[in-house]
Amino acid sequence: LSNAENWFCECPKLYSGKLCQFATCDENPCGNGATCFPKSRRDAVCLCPYGRSGILCSDAINISQPSFSGMDAFGYTSFLAYSAIPNITFYYEFHLKFQLANHRSALQDNLIFFTGQKGQGLNGDDFLVLGLRNGRVEYSYNLGSGKATIISKPLDLTLNIHVIHLGRYLQKGWLKVDDQKNKTITSPGRLVGLNVFSQFYLGGYREYTPELLPKGSRFNNSFHGCIFDVQVRTSMDQEFKSPGTPEGHPDSGRSVGQCKDSPCSLIQCRNGGQCIEGGSTVYCDCLTGWKGAFCTETVSVCEPEHDPPHQCKQGGTCVPLPHGYTCQCPLGTTGTYCEQG
């Protein structure tokens, strides 16, 4: 429904809020398979799936250069997951470019991509991983008989866009970053094939339990910034292709935006609320005393979110008054706050 200058939702019983945001995530208000997270007892945040944006993830967005937002305040990472890359066992080459959100994000142990065996996090689990640690690019793989790792020189942070080329043939791996010299390594042990079954994860992992990932592949944070032009080939005479089936299309993702777009430009938080954005996910963080999707509703003095909380003791019921509140005392108690027997 809308009146001259505003719109609102007419909510059925038990629902409240400008968007009828429901009591919590029990009745999930988020659309299109978004991850619902209760921001408070009455408000939910919708962490948008791939290709969706907005407060309820109802807006479709076109993503040509994905931007990743690291880990959000609720402990979820942004990521894209592509179908497993076929024929990667004996030979692969990857090209990709990335742009950091800020200089700090090169120092925080950030994952760029991962594919591997998911298991008990054992030493012998095969994996292939690329990430940033202490301002350097780190490329590791384990073919099952020990880990090989190549670490680049520190990134030149005056560059806006960084370019990575890497590859492996049997045990021998190589990495080239920007205009640094090519570095090579040979993996230990006797095994020569990479046996991985997982999807190809870009920017982060689906579930953030690094303990489940193979030892030596654990980057604790997801990427913060943009990753684009990811290309792979698994034999010398092949053309480079984007990952995914169909090509370039991820199977799933979360909180991934389009590089340089700002979802906060589309919504207005009221009453001093701050707009928080992470990739395609966007919500208002309200000042004390305000709630609702756009911080337009006041928190009543009797609600559990009210700061300070009401003082009614021993099962007393809080009843709001025009100024302050009063406590309705159950049988056998008395006093302003039902504190006396």
pLDDT digits (tens, 9 = 90+) for 65-120: 999 988 887 778 899 999 999 999 999 999 999 999 888 877 788 999 999 886 66
Residue 6 has pLDDT above 60, yes or no: no
CA distances to 84, 119, 149, 155, 194 from 171, rounded to whole Å, are 21, 23, 12, 26, 9
Residue ranges making up the domain that contains 83: 79-258
Mean pLDDT of the chain: 86
Residue 223 Cα distances to 91, 100, 110, 183, 194, angstroms: 26, 8, 5, 23, 24
Per the domain annotation, does 142 fall within a domain? yes
Question: pLDDT tens digits, residue range 288-309?
Answer: 888 888 888 888 888 877 888 8
Predicted TM-score (pTM) of the model is: 0.78
Residue 13 has pLDDT above 90, yes or no: no
User: What are the φ and ψ backbone dihedral angles of 264, each rounded to 5 degrees?
Assistant: -65, -20
If one counts the domains in the chain, the total is 1
The torsion angles phi and psi of 60, rounded to 5 degrees, stand at -80, 135
Give domain status of residue 341, yes or no. no
Whether residue 228 lies inside any domain: the answer is yes
Percent of the chain with pLDDT over 90: 52
Dihedral of CA atoms 218, 221, 224, 227 in degrees, nearest 10, equals 20
- Is residue 320 in some structural domain? no
Q: Indicate which CATH number applies to the domain containing 153.
A: 2.60.120.200
- Residue 224: inside a domain, yes or no? yes
Residue 5 pLDDT:
47
Does 329 fall in a domain?
no
In this structure, how many other beta carbons lie within 10 angstroms of the beta carbon of residue 140? 22
> What share of the chain in percent tops pLDDT 70?
88
Is pLDDT above 60 for 208? no
Residue 128 lies in a domain: yes
Residue 227 has pLDDT above 80, yes or no: yes
59 within some domain: no
Q: Which of 9-18, 113-122, 245-254, 329-338 has the lowest mean pLDDT?
A: 9-18
Tell me the per-residue pLDDT of 244-266, one tens digit each, with 9 for 90 and over: 999 999 999 999 999 988 888 88
Buried-exposed string 189-203: b where 16+ CB fall within 10 A, e elsewhere: eebbebebebbbbbb
